Structure 1
Amino acid sequence: MLARIIFFTAVSAATLAVILLATVSPSAQRRLQRSPPSPQLALSMYVQHAHLPSHRVHAGAQSGGALVFHHMLTEGPKNMSRIIGKAQGFIIPLEHFAHSAFNIIYLTFHTAEYSGSISIEAKLLQHRDREELEVVGGTGSFAFARGRAVFTRIGRGHASALAMYHVKLHLQFPDDRSQTIPG
């Protein structure tokens, strides 16, 4: 009987020791702390058509062909606003190509604060005055970016390619952007 009491006491003490060590140890404290949210960034800019004919290219857009564009990114809506980069893309608006991997909009930034590009998936374009699209990656200052891009038409041109758009980017980045891609 005494042996059972000693055995039960030893097992209870060992169990208590394991539980205490699991909750008091520094590694357990790190796991119990809530991880901080991923770094976030919100940007606002305007997409304006370039005033040079060579910057507007339509490859049969009126007949249902591809739309290739090269526009300016500016800080503000005025024509003389500071240029902060460019918006380029290749979109196939045909219904059977609507989910084409080519339907991507690239925003490239060249400023003191940001240098790099953002890739925005344009598969589900509805040709509305407000489009919410998915950010699928980036380079440079925007490496590993994910999030959404909200395009709002604020100018009315003869074609949607001539309209001006206000773009709001809502980006999230991984906690550790030093990740490497295995080669």
Structure 2
Amino acid sequence: MLSNKLIFCVSVTLAILVVILLATLSPLPHRKPSSKPWLALSLYIQQPQTAGVPNVHTVAPQDVGALIFHRVLTEEPKNTSKVIGKAQGFILPVEQFAHSGFNIIYLTFDTHEYSGSVSIQAKGSGSDRRDELRVVGGTGSFAFVRGFAVLTQKDDRDTDLVLPYHIRLHLKYPNRSKTIPG
């Protein structure tokens, strides 16, 4: 009788110990995707700096065929700020192509947190120094995003220097819970 009670107590103690060990040593469950499907980023597209020549604002001539650009993307407005990617684009400034699907800006990210690109369609134009553009897709960390981008630029009135473009991205991720039929 004593041995039955002893076996029962040892069994209960071992069961409790196993439950405690499993609770403390088991891996954490995978976290659910964020309930916030929107992502907001604030970045700066740096203007090219040429040695000995100040970076003054210039207007592209109206008879230019296409503007193709390659710029550095930073996290702060200073040109010495941390580089987080690049901004490349292809713009047709001719009036007939102002609303063309060819006017695209690609932002490519290469950071620990984000890797991939965002495609921005530059259809239409806002005010002289502010444009609201449409985000039409992305790759990598930004796969299939949609949303909008607000592009602004300010002049330094004292020196006529052009400051970097400030771009605010408001990205919406697709509903990833749906499966692709096939």
TM-score by length of 2: 0.66
State the match for 1:49 in structure 2.
Answer: 47
- Specify the SS of the correspondent of 2:124: coil
Number of residues of Structure 1 aligned to a counterpart in Structure 2 = 136
| RMSD after superposition | 2.7
Please say if 1:75 is aligned against 2:75: yes
Q: Which runs of no fewer than 5 residues in structure 1 stay unpaired?
A: 1-35, 54-60
CA distance in 2, matches of 1:125, 1:40: 24
Letter in 1 for 2:103: N
TM-score by length of 1: 0.66
Letter in 2 for 1:152: T
State the match for 2:122 in structure 1.
Answer: 122
Name the structure where helix makes up a greater proportion of residues: 1
CA distance in 2, matches of 1:178, 1:138: 19
Letter in 1 for 2:95: E
The 8 Å contact of residues 105 and 119 in structure 2, kept in 1 or not, is answered as yes
List per-residue Cα deviations over 1:2-31 (Å, max 9, x = no partner): xxxxxxxxxxxxxxxxxxxxxxxxxxxxxx
State the match for 1:150 in structure 2.
Answer: 150
State the match for 2:37 in structure 1.
Answer: 39
What is the percentage of aligned positions where both structures have the same residue? 55
Q: What's the CA shift for 1:128?
A: 1.8
CA distance in 2, matches of 1:179, 1:139: 18
Q: What's the CA shift for 1:163?
A: 4.9
Q: Which runs of no fewer than 5 residues in structure 2 stay unpaired?
A: 1-33, 52-59
CA distance in 1, matches of 2:171, 2:163: 24
- Specify the SS of the correspondent of 1:170: strand
State the match for 2:93 in structure 1.
Answer: 93
The 8 Å contact of residues 92 and 103 in structure 1, kept in 2 or not, is answered as yes
Letter in 1 for 2:114: Y
Q: What's the CA shift for 1:50?
A: 3.2
